[in-house]
Amino acid sequence: MSDEILTGEGVVLDARPASFATRTVGALIDLAVLAVVAVALLVLMASIGAEVDDAAGAAIVILLLVTVMVGIPTTVETLTRGRSLGKLVMGLRIVRDDGGPVRFRHAFIRAMTGVGELWLSIGSIALICSLVNRQGKRVGDLLAGTYAVRVRGGQRALPPVVMPHELSRWAHGADIRRLPDGLALQSRQFLGRATGLHPGSRERLGLELAGEVEQYVAPGPPPGTHPERFLAAVLAERRDREYVQAVRAAQRARAEAVLVHRLPHAVPDPVD
């Protein structure tokens, strides 16, 4: 299952919610790391245990539990923007519902909720919640507004842009200025994933992108041209022109290289 995250700039991102099995393996790796840290801290505490009274010992134990259950997970997810060691190994990342990176607030809520749903319930609450939620969220994700996504192996190749036959003559004769990289990327991603968008969102985004792209094209498309056909024609023509320019540049470079090798001690005048 894949989710489409639409950013404020209109860029559609492909994000696959992590499977329950993948998240479980990542969580077990994190648990093993935390266990090693906890044992190390216990050994350290035992080495100084004879020098403290019972009240101080109880306070140290509580501090140890808070550090292992809340402090370390919160710190790691905040500094790595949602990637603990287990998630790094399994190719996962915790992101916000809008696709953005998690902050301290999100990591803290997840860690605090995890005390009950992961530690005290031995993961049973998280298991039930993840199985019934479409995105595999646990309770901490629901409260923090986050979920786990695949960041390795989740990319899908976009289908190639094809020149609409009814617009080919217009596109070949049109003056198409260089599109801003962001606008070109938005248009390319929109065309590649348009069929998976909600019809209303698809129509709205198509009209908005076509209106922006039309500012860089003269003359405009024939009256009645569908926005998606217009975007496809501009991108296809832009691609073909850049390819032709690249081929010509490569041919000139090869020709100059031949002349330079033929006359190693002199560079000939450029030929118009």
- Would the pLDDT of 40 be above 70? yes
pLDDT reading at 6 higher than 80: no
Please provide the DSSP assignment of 194-227 as one string: GGGS-HHHHHHHHHHHHHHHHTTEESPPPTT--H
Collapsed DSSP state (helix, strand, coil) of residue 176: strand
Identity at 221, one-letter amino acid code: P
In Å, what is the CA distance from 61 to each residue of 43, 55, 223, 236, 268?
Answer: 12, 10, 75, 65, 81
Residue 62 neighbours by CB under 8 Å, 6+ apart:
none
Backbone angles phi, psi at 118, to 5 degrees: -110, -50
Query: Mind listing the pLDDT tens digit for each residue in 45-96?
Result: 777 655 666 777 778 788 888 998 999 999 999 999 888 999 988 888 898 8
Instruction: Take residue 58 and report the two structure tokens written for it.
Output: 């109880």
- Above 90 in pLDDT, residue 215? yes
Q: Are strands 217-218 and 175-176 parallel, antiparallel or unpaired?
A: antiparallel
- Give residue-wise pLDDT tens across range 160-172: 889 999 999 999 9
- Nearest C-alpha neighbor of 149 from the set 221, 97, 191, 205: 97
What pTM was estimated for this model as a whole? Answer: 0.53
Greater pLDDT, 135 or 69 = 69
Residue position matching structure tokens 């519902």:
97
Question: What digits encode the pLDDT tens for the residues 138-158?
Answer: 999 999 999 888 876 545 566
pLDDT tops 60 at residue 123: yes
